[in-house]
Amino acid sequence: MNIRPLLFVPALVLLPDVLRAQPASPSPAVTQAVDTSTSAWEGIVNIDVSVLMPDYREPWNAGQPSGGSGTGFLIGKNRFLTNAHVVSNATRILIRTTNDPEPHAAKIVHIAHDCDLALIEAEDGSHFDKLKPLDFGGIPQLNTEVIAIGYPIGGDRISVTRGVVSRIDFRPYSHTSVDSHLAIQVDAAINPGNSGGPVMQSGKVVGVAFQGFSGRVAQNVGYMIPVPVIKRFLKDIEDGRYDHYVDLAASDFPIENPAQAKALGINGDGVGVLVGDVEPQGSVAEVLKIGDVILSIDDNPVMNNGLVRFEGELMDMNEIVERKFAGDTIKVKYLREGKKKEATVTLKRFDPYVRLGAQYNQRPRYIVNAGLVFQPLDRNLVDAHQIRDDTVSYVFDNFLTDKLYVERPEPVVLTNVLPDEVNTWITPYAHSIVDEINGVKIRSLKDVQTALAKKEKPFIEISLLEKNRPLVLKRELAEAAHKRIMQNYNIQEDSYLGDE
């Protein structure tokens, strides 16, 4: 059972199990087509997307074309809010309303993959000038009714499903597979194609539909992105760019054992959570240490299970950090060896964390040399190549826990060996972490380029992590074979290191 975004894929495309329509089951939710001729819901649009999926197996290729559809809604003059996963990797975006079947070209204005939100606009906004933007409400109460509005399963007319709010929680967002934010669970039927559509209560938007459970374990369980996350995204982009979420970059453990609480010097009032780990490149790296006890954040007492009472609700303490922006400060009170301390922390994004998540809207980076293909290690690469090498798995799985990013910020993998007489017997070493090339320590893909450019020695010697035998190519033969290999495999560029 997995949680997945609910982007609709047309029937002509082979559907993965997660996107197939589930059999109907008894539910209080009701689905019906709604005539919007005089409705304020005219601002809800169907989004049709053409997509180019990057090819991480052959990164020099353009990629695989695909497509899908989702929902969006008007929030201001020619400003439509939707999910990031609806428009990720898009090459063409068309929007249309129920009352106007004519498609209108649109483009992405801002996209935030970490919270799965995007702002798009029509290239010619005059077609939507008379539409009324939807207003935002607040966080709905538990067991209150909401309606999810959108274009599920690729329908041409708006569909409405009804349900109740069943949980408000801090949950993973499946778009990146690593980010967690406030999310609201509803039992309204939310299906592929609903993604990006508004969830409404009393005529106001209280969330954006974005993911649901696959499989048959959880029926009619969907999730919406709540208003605080939406407003943070909109606030972040006010200066014309999106700066991403910030993190404390520290983990915590509950303090529930009375003896442990006493040993740590806590007075037993249920306040204080133990610091389990601190990332050396994170926001609190110079402040907190393992074994400290966090007492409060911005004067909000932190309970022994890591929760705080914030805006009248019990929430994960990270929710306070979630409302902040890059460069903002936060006040932390903590206990160290029985002594109370206080510090002001400047918040920033924790970049190593991003490498573990899925990446979008970017071209795969690579270097090809004498048929050897080098690529930076990230989730997209692991998924595309289905890498099973123990060392690669260890580096990826323990990139944060063992602080491997300190020594190797961007591990590089020898992902493929394009067969040629010059690289005979090297193929079995594909899917290995590159440690050194010609004596240069490889900490990033840029280091590979630097090392291969060194021509003092007649050989190219490549050391692989946890492999006892180095790979050796005769430089003269490798350079002569390089052009031949590029032609044989129809490779136009032998490297792409990213946009400057």
E strand map for 125-175:
145-150, 159-172
Report the C-alpha gap between 148 and 151 in whole angstroms: 10
- The SS3 of residue 148 is strand
* Listed residue (181, 190, 136, 138) closest to 163, CA to CA: 190
Which residue of the set 85, 175, 385, 431 is catalytic?
85
* Listed residue (448, 467, 284, 278) closest to 369, CA to CA: 448
Residues 6 or more apart whose CB falls under 8 angstroms from that of 405 comprise 281, 352, 355, 399
Q: Is 113 a catalytic residue?
A: no
Burial of 65 (0-12, 13-18, 19+ CB in 10 A): exposed
Which residue of the set 69, 88, 174, 195 is catalytic?
195
Beta-carbon count within 10 A of 69 CB: 24
Instruction: Determine contact, residues 200/210, Cβ cutoff 8 Å.
Output: no
> What Å distances lie between residue 386 and 130, 381, 393, CA to CA?
50, 8, 10
Cα dihedral value 390, 393, 398, 399, nearest 10? 120
Q: Is 127 a catalytic residue?
A: no
Instruction: Determine contact, residues 189/31, Cβ cutoff 8 Å.
Output: yes
Q: Is 129 a catalytic residue?
A: no
Q: Which amino acid is at 464?
A: L
Which residue of the set 88, 104, 114, 116 is catalytic?
116
* Listed residue (278, 245, 238) closest to 348, CA to CA: 245
Helices (H), 25-142: 84-87
Half-sphere exposure of 273 (CA within 13 A, CB side): 22
Burial of 493 (0-12, 13-18, 19+ CB in 10 A): exposed
Q: Which amino acid is at 263?
A: A
Tokens representing 478?
């490798």
Instruction: Determine contact, residues 166/146, Cβ cutoff 8 Å.
Output: no
User: What amino acid positions are annotated as catalytic residues?
Assistant: 85, 116, 195
